[in-house]
Chains A and B, each alone.
Chain A
């Protein structure tokens, strides 16, 4: 599990480097001109696949090794299996995926750029991960499953279902119809893989670190089920005003609005659970997770509104959307993943831990994220305005340059944050995290945390 954590941070740095290069190439397009594999398009593929599968995938797996045994009171299926999953994920998926994409073997499908050969291993690794973690949950019966457990189960199962749909179906279903399936996957990748895993972490870390049970187990479960009902129905909102039948578009737009409401429920519940921890919690894991929750709120409200036709008309295809996806992946998901890692590291007796570096990581990441988001959102509005006014195309490119400059500059705090996070979790004295927890609120044996992570505790508390 430790290995997944380190792999996560390393892939994060690599992916972020890709991201920074593509951001710079929009300012100095001649950068990397004579090197085919350094071309903007290929790096762009490597960037998003790296973030989603490499960084978030690894970080989520790392967290599962910490969370699942506590949640279920049972060890994971097998250590050897763990080694296999790690090997597959990093050496059969990430490394070859990147190499192939940069060498020009890929699919032009968003969030599905790794070629089909690699997809086979993704599915295989996910299957093995299901074998590794899912049986634990059935040990004690459904009624004692905490909401995090539900999210983990849901995430694993539905990712397995939807991954082939996004990666394979458009290869065999042409054009507009294929796009309809792609739309589903673009949304399911975020909704059924990233969101559930991130929420599982948030729901876990808040009660574990704050020592208070979740505010309402009922709201948690309501949020969970609504999310799984509504998320899959959102996909077509990526293709509003297209030839895809209007009824499907309207349906997706409506589901998007409802999803916004659902997120309000989830976030209210989470913030109520955090009350008393302060605006900037002292506990670093909790701090990341709290910020993640905040970004989740913003990104979801934004998502629900930009699916609406009036907004969509103005901002679709612009940098507004790029800002939105960064807020989701970097704001919401990455803060949750980082929070999960920090939280787990604090509880491993032999793990190195450097609180100062982690604090730096938090503030740098927050600053970078907020500036980038505001910047890209404004850029999107400017572009949308120029397009609607019928200005020559190139003016929309020229007008964006200052915004792209600021966006590229946010690479500095962000890269700094990621390095600081890596430093924070690989240097410093061994067991420093544990000692810090001891010093502040005292450690807790697992049998005391565990009950708080069971529905009963929540039911009693509310």
Chain B
């Protein structure tokens, strides 16, 4: 080769090398640094003035989350896609992530996205699930984190408390900021003509199908129901907590406060079951099942009803009727309401709704037991200190009297 082309070749290599480095720098500038500037600006403009920082405990929980690789099964990023939004809620905005050092976006979803985990599940559900996922969700493949507990789901060690404290911050900032926060972000976004950016403000903030709702209309369930399918689904999804025979003694029940209801000791009206299945039981570990088809929910409701143990309904002695009504009026109406509809003046202040006796009837045994012991983990306290045995029995009879039968009209939708 003569000198001339050699020099040209050498020159071209030098040029290319410089260009190679330049492209790398360009990649960092265009795909790292520039997005960072845009996102920082967006965070400033669209986020609330002040974002609640992580508590010390939540910060430690984040470290546990990181070291256990939760992010390799759970993303923390709702994408701007309708399929994501329908399942998890509003797409992630930049400001929501501004305290994430380092980010935990993840690239694989073996379990569901956790961006909006706050206010989605109850604390006791988290403990039971972390301690033994399959005791709560039989088909789960999530690893058990029993090492974070002292041998039982209701004995979490500090690390487990920290982890759950962290989970309960996920999506919290945006939820607390709404709806004023949404309005502010939308305005600052100034992107009404940008279809994708606008998706961030479409639909529900948290669309999790299992999230319990305190009050919400529940569509009526289809009339015909397939009992066998219902039993199968009950076995797959409910028996873990409520037990195979509905006694509230499934493996997941350990550690739940309140404990799963003993379905065998209850009669439920159709609309009560529809309400529970669509909306869960607010304030407890009982999730909603909105991702199931209505026919399946009807089938499950049928299976729940079939669990009820038939009991004789002895006529109530006259003197008890009077006594029960009086005791109820004097002690119970502020929560359970004048008519036993669960809508007393104090009801709205409680962490969970008082029972509406028109739509469900506990067995006599169960009612007396509840009055003697209260229901652990709920505002329903024991009454033995205030009421005599006779009064307890009388008021137990009384509350049972409200029940309107399986197909009761939804006169008593909880408010």
Contacts and interface: CB of A to CB of B under 8 A. Distances in A.
Interface of A: 25-27, 29-30, 32-36, 39-42, 44-45, 104-110, 141-143, 145, 154, 158, 161-162, 165, 169-184, 186, 225, 228-230, 232-233, 235-236, 238-246, 248, 251-252, 313, 316-318, 321-322, 387-388, 390-394, 397-398, 456
Contacts of B133: 29
A174 B103 contact: yes
Interface in B1-46: 1, 6, 9-10, 13-14, 16, 19-20, 23-24, 26-28, 30-32, 34-36, 38-40, 42
Contact of B27 (A170, A172, A232): A232
Output the residue of A104, A178, A228, A233 with the most chain B CB within 10 A: A178
Interface of B: 1, 6, 9-10, 13-14, 16, 19-20, 23-24, 26-28, 30-32, 34-36, 38-40, 42, 65-73, 75, 77, 79-81, 83-84, 86-87, 91-94, 96-105, 107-112, 133-134, 137, 139-147, 196, 200, 209, 291-292
B69 A40 contact: yes
Residue of B77, B93, B140 most packed against chain A (CB within 10 A): B77
Given A42-B69, A174-B97, A180-B36, 18 more contacts: A29-B142, A42-B67, A44-B72, A104-B67, A142-B14, A154-B20, A170-B102, A175-B100, A176-B92, A183-B31, A241-B196, A244-B35, A245-B39, A251-B31, A387-B83, A392-B292, A393-B111, A394-B139
Which among B93, B105, B146, B291 has the highest number of chain A CB atoms within 10 Å? B105
A235 B107 CA distance: 13
7 contacts: A26-B141, A174-B100, A175-B39, A175-B99, A239-B105, A244-B35, A394-B137
A107 B66 contact: yes
Nearest to B77: A242
Contacts of A456: 1
Contacts of B24: 158, 161-162, 228, 232
Contacts of B30: 233, 248, 251
Given A29-B140, A108-B104, A321-B108, A181 B26 contact: no
A228 B81 contact: no
A41 B106 CA distance: 12
A241 B31 contact: no
Contact of A171 (B102, B104, B142, B146): B102
Nearest to A101: B67
Contacts of B32: 165, 169, 180-181, 184, 235
Given A228-B20, A456-B1, A175 B103 contact: yes
Nearest to A38: B143
B101 A29 contact: no
A251 B30 CA distance: 9
A248 B23 CA distance: 15
Q: Main SS of chain A's interface residues? A: helix
Given A34-B146, A174-B100, A235-B31, A110 B107 contact: yes
B75 A317 contact: yes
Contact of B81 (A44, A109, A110, A313): A313
Given A143-B9, A154-B20, A321-B108, A177 B40 contact: yes
Nearest to B23: A229
Nearest to B9: A143
Chain A CB count within 10 A is highest, among B102, B147, B196, for B102
A372 to B, nearest CB: 16
A173 B100 CA distance: 8
B35 A248 contact: yes
Contacts of B145: 39
A130 to B, nearest CB: 15
B360 to A, nearest CB: 26
Contacts of A184: 27-28, 31-32
A142 B68 contact: no
Contacts of A229: 19-20, 23
A320 B16 CA distance: 36
A165 B292 CA distance: 44
Contacts of B147: 34-36, 39
